[in-house]
Amino acid sequence: MFTKILIANRGEIACRVAATARRMGIKTVAVYSEVDANAKHVAVCDEAVLIGPAPAKESYLRADKIIEVALATGAQAIHPGYGFLSENEGFAEACAKAGLAFIGPPASAIRAMGSKSAAKALMETARVPLVPGYHGDDQDAGLLQSQADKIGYPVLLKASAGGGGKGMRIVERSADFKSALESCKREAINSFGDDKVLVEKYLTRPRHIEIQVFADTHGGCVYLFERDCSVQRRHQKVLEEAPAPDMTAERRAAMGEAAVAAAKAVGYVGAGTVEFIANQDGSFYFMEMNTRLQVEHPVTEMITGLDLVEWQLRVAAGEKLPLRQEQLRINGHAIEARVYAENPEKGFLPSIGTLRHMRTPAAVTFELGGGTDGPAAVRIDSGVREGDAISPFYDPMIAKLIIWGEDRAQALQRMAQALSEYQIVGLASNIAFLHRLVTSKPFSGADLDTGLIERHHAALFPSAGQAGLPVLALAVAALLGDEKKSAGGDPWGDSDGWRMNGTLRRQLDFADDGNAYPLTVSYGSDSWLLELGTNQALLQVTARQGSRLSLKLGDHAVHGDVVRDGETFHVFSDGKHAVLNWADPLAHAGESEAEGGRLTAPMPGKIVAVLTQAGATVEAGTPLLIMEAMKMEHTIAAPGPGVVEDLLYAVGDQVAEGAQLLAFKLAETSAA
Ligand code: ADP
Ligand code: ADP
Ligand code: MG
């Protein structure tokens, strides 16, 4: 076995690999970019070496630099994690040349599966079932269009080199094909440096079911069952579970054997995932093979009780697979939720910022291998801590929350509870959305397909209700407590002796996205009287520790966390996150309103297309610019009918977050 390995990655997966290495007594070397100097993965490894500036191209994708560091630090092997260099055949080859073990498949297997087109051609000869489509080398636009016409709409355009749900376009009708092809090729060249595409029949209501395979260098190859990853947004997984609901033993064996056949066809070694798209009737087709450890591998670990990173290390060190197919068993049910820094209400737009406040559900310590108490019920794989930032340079995943239960119902219940205990302030996250998703009828009823989120959009995005008095009381208590503290008094000891400007009654105006809450607070001897319209209750603070508050509101006990950011109060209680703004009468005196019609960059990025010209008169919603940020395209559209007065950026320009992108004048709307 190796005594020291280098981990060529960052974030949660680098921490995950380091945890197993530590348990096995293997020393770890981290590499990091300038913005990651204080990152968690640097802290959890035994050594860490700076390899370059923040952009991945200049750091985590610098194969030469990473190999140099491995040699200099005496590492014998490199674990690439996922993303970055994990599916880069040149890197696997360079490792071998340098005398280092690459903890992954041979370069030839990566090459064979690296292009979705070439992989499909190969699978065709291995008699693995394929989605009908065109995956040839001829990329003539006219030919691609005629192939799409022949397949029949809707079709899916896919970047052959694609990954992470990027570089895909659904085309509903022939007339839309040309522009979809252009946009797909543009994203493909930007994200993957290769604009080759394939065309596939777009299946309606399919499920994404994938098989975990493992092969060793002695000819052994097994499958570690399936994962259902149907719940996706933007073709990227949000929830993953194992086993797949409604899976029969026959279908599991058929898919497992097809996956093993696919792996054997390319001389596979190590951990890999064969992704299938399945129809509701049970038929399934090969989609692609991911030649690395998958983001969602923990659900497989939970139901099998195995440590897949340990298996990877053993296989890379030349050992045989620890178990044979007939020794593998499924125990219970596991679900993973990807906690992302993103805004589900705004089309899942990635969000960046600092994790000012982060409280995670109580995790049952993750114990792989030797644990005798059975699987952990709650596992959190995270690469960030409170105070860390999610930057625009890398993937916006904050953590993975992985839950085990005796069965799906128990896993779901534990997941809902864990999500309700997860608190984040400082950036937008999908936590509340995940909670609605896992408790929704379609998901809890296992009515799964890849269109679940879109089809149930209305139910999953209910209009925000009114904040209740308990939530408002928590915000009020935090505010009054802060004032008292800054007035130098003992916060909760003697509210009777303290008066605000000599008044006993005071108005506090709070508001959220849709509602205003004009509250009145009357100071009593040992409590406050809180009033909102005809609603009123006596409020007493029973305890406050950090963000945690306990109140008595009338005869109810209320608990929650309040995190304050200036005049914004984040209230976490009863599993919900409310954001309340306090209209401080003393703040913002003299500030003027921003003028309408400013179109600004939602995040730092690059302009990839300008779709309008100065002087153009446009309708509401007309696409004006396309910018690329966090490896995705974002279309900037006209906020209303109006005139483009000036273009401020050209294709290729970098823009800062909040930068004005163009001068736009909204048309005067005639008064009603
Ligand atoms: P999975 O199939 O396991 O869900 P994804 O395809 O979503 O994995 O990608 C896994 C991770 O790798 C994600 O964090 C994604 O952002 C990242 N990733 C995918 N493709 C690339 C790439 N070409 N370069 C860098 N990172 C990538
Ligand atoms: P990536 O490399 O980005 O993971 P995949 O080929 O694995 O790309 O596809 C990602 C997702 O896109 C799938 O999980 C599925 O939801 C959807 N998808 C892919 N191919 C099809 C298809 N032919 N019909 C319908 N949905 C598809
Ligand atoms: Mg995929």
pLDDT (tens digit per residue) in 399-437: 999 999 999 999 999 999 999 999 999 999 999 999 999
Looking at 227, 233, 292, 338, which residue is catalytic? 292
Residue 595 has pLDDT above 70, yes or no: no
Q: Which of the residue ranges 111-120, 184-193, 302-311, 628-637 would you say has the lowest mean pLDDT? A: 628-637
Residue 369 has pLDDT above 70, yes or no: no
In this structure, the residue with its CA closest to atom 16 of ligand 1 is 395
List, as one string, the DSSP characters of 424-484: EESS--SHHHHHHHHHSHHHHTT---TTHHHHTHHHHSPPP-PPPHHHHHHHHHHHHHHHH
Q: Which of the residue ranges 262-271, 284-293, 618-627 would you say has the lowest mean pLDDT? A: 618-627
pLDDT of residue 587: 56
Helix, strand or coil, per DSSP, at residue 274: strand
List, chain by chain if needed, residues with CB within 6 Å of any ligand 2 atom.
Answer: 131, 156, 158, 162-165, 200-203, 206, 208, 232, 235, 275, 277, 287-288, 450
Q: How far is CA 426 from CA 61, 358, 471, 485, 604, in A?
A: 29, 9, 19, 24, 17
Ligand 1 atom showing the smallest separation from residue 164 Cα: 6
Residue 190 has pLDDT above 80, yes or no: yes
Residue 556 has pLDDT above 70, yes or no: yes
Give the Cα separation of 324 and 55 in Å (integer). 42
Number of H helices, E strands in the chain: 17, 41
* Ligand 2 pocket test target in 198, 235, 279, 288 with most atoms within 8 Å of CB: 235
Give the position of tokens 């440096």: 193
Distance 162 CA to ligand 1 centre (A): 9
pLDDT (tens digit per residue) in 297-321: 999 999 999 999 999 999 999 999 9
pLDDT of residue 592: 33
Distance 70 CA to ligand 1 centre (A): 24
Give the Cα separation of 138 and 40 in Å (integer). 46
Distance 193 CA to ligand 2 centre (A): 20
Distance 161 CA to ligand 3 centre (A): 11
Residue 670 has pLDDT above 90, yes or no: no
Ligand 2 atom showing the smallest separation from residue 131 Cα: 23
pLDDT of residue 525: 79
Contacts of 159 (CB under 8 A, 6+ apart): 116, 166, 167, 168, 184, 185, 187, 188, 191, 192, 194, 195, 196, 197
Helix, strand or coil, per DSSP, at residue 155: strand
Percent of the residues in the chain that have a pLDDT greater than 70, as a whole number = 93
Looking at residue 320, what DSSP letter applies?
A: P
Residue 493 has pLDDT above 90, yes or no: no
Any idea which ligand is nearest the CA of 231?
2
pLDDT of residue 408: 98
Residue 366 has pLDDT above 80, yes or no: no
Comparing 565 with 4, which gets the higher pLDDT?
Answer: 4
Mean pLDDT of the chain: 91
Annotated catalytic residue 292: yes
In this structure, the residue with its CA closest to atom 1 of ligand 2 is 163
User: Is 82's C-beta closer than 6 angstroms to any atom of ligand 1?
Assistant: yes
Distance 199 CA to ligand 2 centre (A): 12
Q: State the average pLDDT over residues 49-54.
A: 97
pLDDT band at 127 (very low <50, low <70, confident <90, very high): confident
Beta bridge partners, 549, equal 544, 560
pLDDT band at 590 (very low <50, low <70, confident <90, very high): very low
pLDDT band at 495 (very low <50, low <70, confident <90, very high): very low
pLDDT (tens digit per residue) in 128-146: 999 999 999 999 999 999 9
